[in-house]
Chain A
Amino acid sequence: MQQTLNLHDREELIAPLYQFDRKFWTTLAVLIVIITPGMLLYVRQLVLGLGVTDLNRPVFWGAYLVNFIFLIGISMAGTVISATLQLLKVNWRRPITRIAESLTVFGLMTAGLQIIMDMGRPDRLAFTLIYGRLQAPLLWDIASLTLYLLTAVFALYLQLIPDIALLRDTAPDTAPAWRKKLYSILSLGWTGAKEQWRRLEKAITVVSVFIIPIGISLHTVTSWLFSTTVQPGWKSTILGPYFVVGAIFSGIGLLFIATTFARQYNKHLKEYITEIFYTNLGWIFIVMSAVWFYFTLNETLVVVTEQETLEFPVMASKLFGQFAPAFWGMNILMIAATWILVAPKFVSDKPTRNPLLKTITGLGATAIAIIIFFLLWLRLPALAAPAIQTGLLIAFVLFLIFALLGITKWMKTRLITSTVIASAFVLFGMWLERWNILMPTLTHARLIPYTTYLPTVTEIAITISTFGILTLMFVVFYKFFPSISIWEVEEGRALENKSGG
């Protein structure tokens, strides 16, 4: 392993860290504008009490808890995936490990924030440590979250040390003194000696081994918050693995979006984060979606067929009741995401003469499908006959399939765009999934009349603000540290040269 750095790489990866250009300030300003309303409304909630939300009896938990599970989920995947790929010595992981690990750290921080926002008495947060009962599931969650956060910060920092030393050594003369000082402190006297490398790699391997069970435990414990209660719809044994799979699924989605965002932000990264990463991680994404569908089917089918008096009303509200839009919306988003990922694998790169695969066919089919949808939706009396209704429905599904087929070729040629679209679908679908786990049970209490819950402006603003904070941390962090692990990429290149030449 050589400590020398290609001059070209240095310009592309290190120089932007010192350029506080207009793009950076604009991004920062936009993020602050996004974050501020939520923060102000949170202060209002602190002063007035949690009554400013739409929470009530029996819906004692709401959007904050959904956000909490969602953020735990997206944060779980980053480091677990990076550690797994590290242990498997997968080479294409190198450019994305840094982004994956930092997503974990920032995701966990914002998840912790959600819990504090949800608490009636955030001033008593320290009581969980002073008077903590280890028998309580919430304390398992706090312990697991703290442990995972510390391990993730440690893993991120370990990976950063050689790069920080590099920053220390290559800081331009114009760099502010405090930054030079910061890098020299954080690099812990790293010189790149052989013994230092040996120890670092050993430490990284040990952390990678430990972080996988810790990450899985965190999301399992989060599911136990629900499955250890006696409430219908929650007391299920599959909830633990279901949460873990959903977490990895949504985490990969966010990883795709974050890397693409980084690529767009700093165009030079396109040389490092190439399409091979999208293709290979895309396969893991597809596998996760398959497992997710399998678990969802299990969870749904068993409850539907047994028709238990307490469980079934909860499930029925998802299938036909007030949560039907969220439930079916989630399923449609997931099916669409899977289609976007899988379908292009079945068509060839070459131009085709098959009319079904032409973009124009797709657009036409989409238009017709929309018209049919409106005909069905308007319930025109002229089309009220059952035969016509059924015919229209079949035509709708048929044209929808044509539309999906038509865009396949378009997606094939735009791997990154289509992956990002699929990731966005998955992220939104997974947020809805958490909503669908929490809300139907909470609104269907045993001895309280069934109720509804819709987040208020406060909750929506705080949610938006939370994701703003996540992005802000991401943007600011990568103004101080390179967004791809320079030494790992160098190492990868050295290995390639060795095997190639």
Chain B
Amino acid sequence: MTDWCMVIDLEKCVACQGCSIACRMENNTPVVSPEEAKNGRAIRWNDVFPLPVHFGPDQGEYPNVKTHYSTRPCMHCNNAPCVKVCPVQATFIDEEGIVRQNYNRCIGCRFCTVACPYGVRYFNWFEPQWEETLVEYRNPDQLSVNGSLEGPAVRPAGVVEKCTYCAHRLVKARERAKAEGREFRADEYVPACVQTCTGKARFFGDLDDPNSTVSQLSKSLRATHLLEDSGAHPKTLYLAEG
């Protein structure tokens, strides 16, 4: 069984926010006004933020200053707190370890957003809007199985959305392999953020395959999880800085 996993090398990350933008274009994340963004309503499935979060990015005194940044997709936890609290199974872990979100099922109770220790889940406070020409550049892809609506599909107001490791790309890659009459290989699919990463700091692959890059990197001494004490057993791996 495949077990999809992302590895982020913070040593290589230049905090360019390219992943954030690629994610936004790939997944049709609605744009909000600057005032709304200031009020914490911005939606960034893949966020780039300074560390430590609560005390600002700059540490030390000039000229000995150091700035740390981190980038954060969904952790796709094995023991996901969001999945455990969802009253209607709108969010669930699929067979390949991806935590997905069904917009047609979500009742908007926001329990998952409260339960997630990483804050990777976002709520649609208003009907999503795009400025005139931007509408034409929306990604037409969507993921829909038996009445569910997932992935980059345009979300209605009042539902929760989150990073899916671009699960629709996985479906597309599988279908392409099938159409070409060959076996699907794990390296045929990467999320948009991995594809775009300027510093080549992101790696993606199958954790169950001992020869994959992510498996090799997961054995690194620098390999660590974000907030390991939260008990969520996060899957997304970080290679620590320094």
- Nearest-Cβ distance from residue A223 to partner chain B, whole angstroms: 14
Q: With A135-B84, A231-B117 as given contacts, are A120 and B108 in contact (CB-CB < 8 Å)?
A: yes
- Nearest-Cβ distance from residue A52 to partner chain B, whole angstroms: 8
A56 & B39 in contact (Cβ 8 Å cutoff): yes
- Nearest-Cβ distance from residue B143 to partner chain A, whole angstroms: 18
A447 & B108 in contact (Cβ 8 Å cutoff): no
- Nearest-Cβ distance from residue A320 to partner chain B, whole angstroms: 16
* B residues with CB within 8 A of A: 36, 39-42, 49, 53-54, 72, 81, 84-89, 105-111, 113-115, 117-119, 122-127, 156-160, 226-227, 230-232
Q: With A121-B107, A138-B111, A442-B114 as given contacts, are A448 and B53 in contact (CB-CB < 8 Å)?
A: yes
For residue A61, which residues in chain B have a CB less than 8 angstroms away from its CB? 110, 114
Q: With A49-B158, A230-B81, A446-B53 as given contacts, are A57 and B87 in contact (CB-CB < 8 Å)?
A: no
Interface positions of A from 434 to 449, Cβ below 8 Å from B: 442, 445-449
B105 & A131 in contact (Cβ 8 Å cutoff): yes
Any B CB within 8 A of the CB of A44: no
A142 & B108 in contact (Cβ 8 Å cutoff): no
B119 & A57 in contact (Cβ 8 Å cutoff): yes
Q: Is chain A's interface secondary structure helix, strand, loop, or mixed overall?
A: loop
For the complex of A and B, 8 pairs with smallest distance between CB atoms: A120-B108, A120-B158, A51-B125, A56-B40, A49-B157, A138-B87, A60-B110, A49-B126
For residue B113, which residues in chain A have a CB less than 8 angstroms away from its CB? 57-58, 60
B230 & A230 in contact (Cβ 8 Å cutoff): yes
For residue A136, which residues in chain B have a CB less than 8 angstroms away from its CB? 84-87, 111
B107 & A124 in contact (Cβ 8 Å cutoff): yes
A58 & B40 in contact (Cβ 8 Å cutoff): yes
Any B CB within 8 A of the CB of A264: no
Interface positions of A from 5 to 63, Cβ below 8 Å from B: 48-51, 54-61
For residue B42, which residues in chain A have a CB less than 8 angstroms away from its CB? 57
Any B CB within 8 A of the CB of A90: no
Besides A130-B88, A229-B85, A448-B40, 19 other CB < 8 A contacts? A48-B126, A50-B157, A57-B41, A57-B123, A58-B40, A120-B107, A120-B110, A120-B123, A124-B88, A127-B107, A133-B87, A133-B88, A133-B89, A137-B85, A138-B111, A229-B114, A230-B232, A445-B119, A447-B53
A121 & B232 in contact (Cβ 8 Å cutoff): no
Q: With A50-B123, A120-B109, A446-B227 as given contacts, are A128 and B114 in contact (CB-CB < 8 Å)?
A: no
- Nearest-Cβ distance from residue A239 to partner chain B, whole angstroms: 15
Q: With A51-B36, A57-B119, A58-B119 as given contacts, are A120 and B124 in contact (CB-CB < 8 Å)?
A: yes
- Nearest-Cβ distance from residue A230 to partner chain B, whole angstroms: 5
